[in-house]
Amino acid sequence: MKKRVVITGMGALSPIGNNVEETWQSLVNGKSGIGLITRFDASDLPAKIAAEVKDFKPEDHFEPNQIRKLDLYTQFALVAAKEAIQDAKLLEDEKIDKDRVGVITGVGIGGILTFEEECIKSYTKGPRRISPFFIPKMIGNIAAAHIAIENGFKGPNFNVMSACASANHALGTALRTIQYGDAEIVISGGTEAAVTALAVGGFCAMRALSTRNDDPQGASRPFDTDRDGFVMSEGAAYLVLEELEHALARGAHIYAEVAGYGATDDAFHITAPTDDGEGSTRAMLAAIHDAGMKPEDVDYINAHGTSTPLNDKGETMSIKAAFGDHAYKLKINSSKSMVGHMLGAAAGIEAIACVKTIQTGIIHPTINLDNPDPLCDLDYTPHKAVKAKVDVALSNSLGFGGHNAALIIKRYQ
């Protein structure tokens, strides 16, 4: 018998809310966090819009000597993880063995702002002017390390990097880590702060981003005929995963259960999915099998739903292949229609949306779905939230390189 794993804490910092409840209320109300880029001068770029975290001041959370040692992506991680840790009351319980608490993060790019700044400094002032904090600020594992250092968590600690599937792979790996008995608690999710000239410019060069600059809040439009690319976003989201008996013994509040995980690769192309989404189909079916369920047991899917021409069509086909006729009975939505694409952190926010959906019986809308693509003919919950009893949710994530990860989250019983 596999150990059961439950969610006992959540934390979020997103373009539509600086905590879990603000983010959730914005999702339910169809509020977009997308606007013109303010972090740098984007006037020369085709895409001048992004979903930026609002009203975030590092000095509200960190001492000045800390700020200069932390890339923005790590700052986001620490703030969101702190909310999750406090929510789970981990630091209030003296019985918790911190040697058995791990941190597994998901990051798609990491400290690219630091990389950008230090490259400029190196070329303009010489390499001897590079900051001694450059490497430990930039590397992708350092957010996990800082969460552990700040809280004294000495269990398994590392980062998973699989582009836009990173947070789902991190959560799935956290699930396995607890099931195998290597930890009793793992703080897991994702973080990203890649709204920079270099990162946005790179995605523009790939022609991956929406250029609907005159209508920022209407730019992310998953499954819509007029979609023209995804919208860059930033933020962090973490969940506390805990072995069930351990959670019960300490009287923890249980939000939901993480029941299954599946991961595959397309082995097809560095950026494009297969036409039929076959790799994603296998990941979803693997997660359902891992949970000991059948496809018809799933009530709701939080789709990857990027608003790119290839993804949305392929993902729709993959859902049909995995679920057959049941695909047309599923409630589906895309959080990215409001949050934008948080890259390595995306699946963290989407896992939280799954938990809140199970808790509240509210399925948030997919906004901007004005002219549905005829090839995307499932129920994506357009425009307005709907009420529905959801016992089993599936969170779907796909990443450049053909990485696919699916997570099953169910009502705890």
The residues that are catalytic are 164, 304, 341
Residue 315 backbone phi and psi in degrees, to 5: -65, -40
User: How many helices (H) does the chain have, and how many strands (E)?
Assistant: 13, 14
Two tokens, residue 164: 């836009």
Instruction: Tell me how many degrees the CA angle 175-154-8 measures, rounded to the nearest 5.
Output: 40
DSSP 8-state class, residue 268: S
User: Which of 184, 186, 185, 204 is closest to 194 using CA atoms?
Assistant: 204
Two tokens, residue 315: 């993902």
User: Which of 408, 413, 411, 410 is closest to 171 using CA atoms?
Assistant: 408
Dihedral through CA 116, CA 117, CA 120, CA 125, nearest 10? Answer: -150
Tell me the C-alpha to C-alpha distance, in Å, between residue 133 and each of 46, 74, 118, 161: 33, 13, 10, 22
User: Which of 298, 301, 292, 296 is closest to 331 using CA atoms?
Assistant: 301
**Residue 350 in contact with residue 398, Cβ under 8 Å?**
no
Helix (H) or strand (E) holding 243: strand 234-243
d(Cα 16, Cα 27) in Å, to the nearest integer? 8
| 3-class secondary-structure state, position 284 | helix
235 Cβ neighbours under 8 A, 6+ residues apart: 12, 13, 14, 15, 53, 76, 80, 191, 192, 339, 342, 345, 349
CB atoms within 10 A of CB 389: 9
DSSP 8-state class, residue 287: H
Given CA atoms 9, 81, 404, 16 in this order, what sign does their dihedral have? Answer: positive
